Structure 1
Amino acid sequence: MSKIDRRFFFKVVKNQLFNGKLTPQQVQGMTGILNRWENHHSMDDDRWLAYMLATAYHETDKRMWPIEEYGKGKGKLYGVRDPETGKVYYGRGLVQITWKSNYKKLGKALGIDLVNNPDLALNLDVSIRIMFYGMINGSFTGKKLGDYFNAAKEDWINARRIINALDKANIIADHAKKFYSAISYTTG
């Protein structure tokens, strides 16, 4: 089985995306993403992995660790306390899931009660599972990684539609290409 060359990966991303310095938390977050890829998706298109890494990079403000949305949804419809659960379904995690319906849908798909425990999306493993499931299966907007990266297509810009229309699409596309350049394999 092939494994991603971690030494090469971290050297490239450190220099191209993190201004020459990585925190232990950034390394841990990216390691979790790489581990999930190798253990469950290594036969899939590496551009998918690169785009997921770039999405996490953007959505977490380069932390590569699950975060709460800045402002916790204040002033937005999804930022209002739910009368049934008493919870607020603002953005959380590596991909900033919002809205009760999305917490419910993703929680059901993963076998996790995210509706009553939305902060579980801040757990690294849970957040990685949410990102992988949602981006591969089109759970966020109906668009999925396979729509933009396959044998006949490579569309780094429109892939942003998987998460959030074309908000910052060019910037994220550039980051994704840098992550893609860092993915190299060792055999053994």
Structure 2
Amino acid sequence: MISNRAVFFKAVRMSLFDGRLKQGQVEGMTAILDRWDAGCDEADLRRLAYMLATAHHETGRTMQPVRETFAASDDRAIAILDTAYRRGRLPSVSMPYWRRDGDGKSWLGRGLVQLTHKVNYVRMSEATGIDLVAAPERAMDLPVAVDILFKGMHSGAFTGKRLADYFSPVREDWTGARRIINGRDKAQLVASHGRLYLAGLILAATA
């Protein structure tokens, strides 16, 4: 349990947030810490630190669920992605998954861990018990986004890789853990964030 949260927030405020935390950032981290305290039968703080680091990176350090491109609406996000696609700025994309389907739904990235493509919404619906296929926009709700973050990263539902593959009694691989989410994209950066979150968590646990 992360009992001394004041110590944690003070540490990460200085190391990761330029000395100032906004309310939304505090609320987002609190939701993640609450979930860890309430639902995790483990004590490996490295795993919690890496989840915090992942949310930090994927949300542009807002620590709140965001849409892909950080747009304020689905329509705006779709327009931004369409423009980038037409201009050849998304070379890894073979199919514009963000465009609305026959039911008017878009499977663009949402949440604390940019959930994209219908197949992944289906997979996380099964993992969480929340019908994200009927209402993909629910991935923008903080409690739902936290559930997706935890279940996806612990089970390997995102890419087949899971936290236990990289943080165990015999292994610690901060850069390799990026494969849980997105290959090696920004792996060193997320790893550096993870180590700073871990330092704050250790301070909080020992204060």
Query: What are the superposed Cα offsets for residues 36-79 of structure 1, whole Å, 9 maximum, x if unpaired?
Result: 00111152411110000000000000100001110444335211
1:124-152 CA distances to partner (integer Å, 9 max, x unpaired)? 00000000000000000000000000000
3-state SS of paired residue (1:4): coil
Query: Counterpart in 1 of 2:146?
Result: 128
2:46 corresponds to: 47
Among 170, 182, 206, the residue aligned to 1:164: 182
Query: Are 2:159 and 1:141 equivalent residues in the alignment?
Result: yes
Distance 1:56 1:11 in 2: 18
Deviation >4 Å, runs of 4+: none
Take 2:124 and 2:133, find their aligned partners in 1: how far apart are those partners?
Answer: 9
More displaced 10-residue stretch of structure 1: 108-117 or 119-128: 108-117
**1:101-144: per-residue Cα shift (whole Å, max 9, x none)?**
10011012211110121110000000000000000000000000
Q: State the partner residue of 2:128.
A: 110
Normalised to the residue count of structure 1, the TM-score between the two structures is 0.94
Cross-structure match for 1:185: 205
- The question of whether the paired residues in 2 share the 8 Å contact of 1:3 and 1:186 is answered with no
Q: Which has the larger radius of gyration?
A: 2
Deviation per residue, 1:1-45 (Å, 9 max, x gap): x43320110001000000000001100000000000011115241
2:97 and 2:106 in contact (8 A); partners too: yes
Q: Which residue of 2 aligns with 1:80?
A: 99
Matches of 2:187 and 2:2, distance apart in 1: 29
CA distance in 1, matches of 2:3, 2:111: 24
Contact 2:2 2:33 in 1 (8 A): no
Quote the residue 2:60 is aligned against: 61
Q: TM-score, normalised by structure 2?
A: 0.86
Q: Is the 8 A contact 1:135 1:162 kept in 2?
A: yes
Q: Any gaps of 5 or more consecutive residues in structure 2?
A: 70-76, 86-92
- The residue that corresponds to 2:89 in the other structure is none
- Quick check: 1:14–1:21 contact (8 Å CA) kept in 2? yes
How far 1:93 moved relative to its partner? Answer: 0.3
Give the letter aligned to residue 31 of structure 2: G
Alignment partners' CA distance in 2, 1:4 and 1:54 = 20
Identity %: 47
* Residue-pair matches, total: 185
Please report the RMSD computed on the Cα atoms of aligned residues, expressed in angstroms.
1.4
Q: 2:107 maps to what in 1?
A: 89
